[in-house]
């Protein structure tokens, strides 16, 4: 698959997540065909957000679960068959592998940036949590969006920027959270 096609696929499965109040706007990833969207807890701010798709359609989102320990949230919209992304294995990531980040930084919609995996592991001063640390340019608004590998699989959820590095929650942590949150919600 060409880089442009890959980028387009990622963009269509990335949504804007607008907190119901205030101007907060982040990103989210559509996972599965049932309308589930995973994003950061700090993006939804504990409320039901409004979800805007790549093509401009808007849906009210229902906040199903918050994982505050990892800064994750699961949201559902009542629409079937949205373009979704698969999770990759974040434990298999190698430094130097290429990654793409998609999100809505600084008001841009579906902006794509590219770089390499810098390393995977904890970061000094940020506790025990493991991060996918990527040499990718992020900006506010990328939060909750996908970090994808060269095959287009989500390997992390972009969450913050530290010392110029993009920090993403590893997809294995995210997939685990989504599975648990869905089984509770069902």
Partner 1 sequence: MTSSFAELSGQLANVVEQAAPFVVSVAAHPRHAASGLQWQPGVVVTVEHPLRQANAAEVLLADGRTVMGKVAGRDATLGVAVLRVEDAAGAGVVTTSAPVRAGNLTVTVGRGRQGNVTASMGIVSSVARAFQTWQGGVVDPLVQLDYSLYPSANGGAVVDASGMVVGLATSGFTRYGASAIPAAVLERVVATVLEKGFVPRAFLGVGLRPVLLPRSMAEQLEGAPESALLLLSVEPGSAAARAGLQVGDILCALDGSPTREPEDVQNKLTPERIGAALAAVVLRGGQRLDVVLTVGEKEQ
Which residue from 80, 125, 127, 163 is in contact with partner 1, where contact means CB under 8 A?
Answer: 163
For 96, the token pair is 């130097």
Nearer to partner 1, 34 or 150 (CB): 150
Please tell me the count of residues contacting partner 1 according to CB under 8 A. Answer: 26
| Structure-token pair, residue 177 | 């959270």
Least distance (Å) from partner 1 to the CB of residue 122? 7
To partner 1, the closest distance from the beta carbon of 172 in angstroms equals 17
165 binds partner 1 (CB under 8 A): yes
2 belongs to the binding site for partner 1 (CB under 8 A): yes
For residue 87, give the DSSP letter: B
User: Which of residues 20 and 123 has its CB atom nearest to partner 1 in the complex?
Assistant: 123
**Strand runs labelled E in 70-184:** 72-76, 98-103, 111-121, 131-135, 146-149, 154-162, 165-170
Sheet containing strand 62-67, strands side by side:
58-60, 50-52, 14-18, 25-31, 36-39, 72-76, 62-67
Active site residues: 42, 71, 143
CB-based contact 66:113 (threshold 8 Å) = no
Q: Does 1 sit near partner 1 (CB under 8 A)?
A: yes
- Is residue 138 involved in binding partner 1 (CB under 8 A)? no
Selected binder of partner 1 within 115, 129, 176, 182 (CB under 8 A): 115
Question: Applying CB under 8 A, does 120 fall inside the site for partner 1?
Answer: yes
Out of 29, 105, 118, 144, the only residue in the binding site for partner 1 (CB under 8 A) is 118
Contact call for residue 6 and partner 1 (CB under 8 A) = yes
Burial (CB count within 10 angstroms: exposed 0-12, middle 13-18, buried 19+), residue 72: buried
**Residue 154's closest CA among 144, 141, 164?**
144
The binding site for partner 1 (CB under 8 A) comprises 1-3, 6, 94-98, 115-122, 124, 133, 135, 149-151, 163-165
């Amino acid at each position: 698959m060409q880089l442009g096609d890959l980028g387009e696929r990622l963009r269509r499965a990335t949504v804007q997540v607008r907190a119901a109040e205030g101007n907060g706007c982040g990103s989210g990833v559509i996972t599965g065909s049932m309308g589930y969207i995973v994003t950061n807890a700090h993006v939804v701010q504990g409320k039901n957000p409004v979800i805007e798709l790549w093509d401009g359609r808007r849906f009210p989102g229902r906040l199903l679960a918050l994982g505050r320990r990892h800064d994750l949230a699961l949201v559902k919209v009542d629409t079937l068959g949205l373009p979704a992304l698969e999770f990759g294995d974040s434990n298999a990531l190698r430094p130097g592998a290429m990654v793409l980040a998609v999100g809505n930084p600084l008001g841009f919609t579906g902006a794509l940036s590219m770089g390499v995996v810098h390393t995977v592991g904890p970061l000094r001063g940020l506790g025990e949590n493991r991060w996918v640390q990527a040499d990718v340019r992020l900006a506010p608004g990328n939060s909750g969006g996908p970090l994808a590998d060269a095959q287009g699989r989500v390997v992390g959820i972009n969450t913050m920027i530290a010392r110029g590095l993009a920090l993403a929650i590893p997809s294995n942590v995210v997939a685990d959270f989504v599975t648990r949150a869905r089984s509770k919600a069902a």
